[in-house]
Amino acid sequence: MDTPCLHTLRLDIDGDAVTATLCHPERLNAVSGQLLQELVTLADWLRQRDDLHYLVLDHDGPVFSAGAHLEEAGAIFADTERVRARLRANQRLAQEALAKLAAVEQISFAALRGSAYGAGVAIAMACDFRVMAEDAVLNLPETRLGMFLSFGATPPLVAALGLARAKEMILFAEDWDAPRCLAAGAVQQVVPRDQVRARIDAMIATLRQRSWPAVRLGKQVANAAAPARWGEVTVAEPELAAEALAGGDVATRVAQFLRRRQPGG
């Protein structure tokens, strides 16, 4: 199957491993609708590639992802006649992208050489393993913007951190440094920034010594045994997002945030 032509991700194949690099550092690798759609395309392509056993999500630039593409979100909120329908569609696309990413047969790794925020954290949490630079942070800023954590990201976060720690991360919207993330179970390894990929390569090298069918099936059985990752909350999320976000002060908060990012703002 031909390698797909993508614009927000750059694909590099090395033997039985593929690296998908978030490649818009000038936008801080913001999670746009195009990126979500291309994650769906990536997952569908990987389903046809039984010769590829490992997936690494990496990034250009100093930041893994600054989170949701707020200019795109601002355009959705400005479309007052269709805002609810567009919010529902965006949520459904995000849920599809992250659910498919979590379900690929390949063993997946997030290379958090830089920090991740909001939707960027959600993408990293959809991977099997996360290796984090010791000077990076994770942050879920949604409550500061009048939003709630969506994209189907809450179930895997609760499964990984436990209920109390997940609520702490979601509600307080604070930077979590690497030691805190490691202690909470949000990441599996913390290393110096320039050693993140080397550590992932070493993990892959270890797995290559195992039986691939056993590794592949082990992932599937573990996923099946875990608490519901994409359970009933994701059924309701698109409607919740359409009503709670369209009817609240999110548009005002997003506009204020964007103004602060502009020169002289």
Does the structure show a pLDDT above 70 at 236? no
Does the structure show a pLDDT above 70 at 139? yes
Does the structure show a pLDDT above 90 at 152? no
pLDDT, residue 197, reads: 98
Does the structure show a pLDDT above 60 at 68? yes
Does the structure show a pLDDT above 80 at 254? no
Average pLDDT taken over every residue of the chain: 89
Q: Which long-range contacts does 157-164 make (Cβ < 8 Å, 24+ apart)?
A: 157/125, 157/186, 158/227, 159/226, 159/227, 159/229, 160/125, 160/185, 160/186, 161/185, 161/186
Domain 9-261 has CATH 3.90.226.10: yes
For the ranges 34-43, 199-208, 253-262, the lowest mean pLDDT is seen at 253-262
pLDDT, residue 240, reads: 57
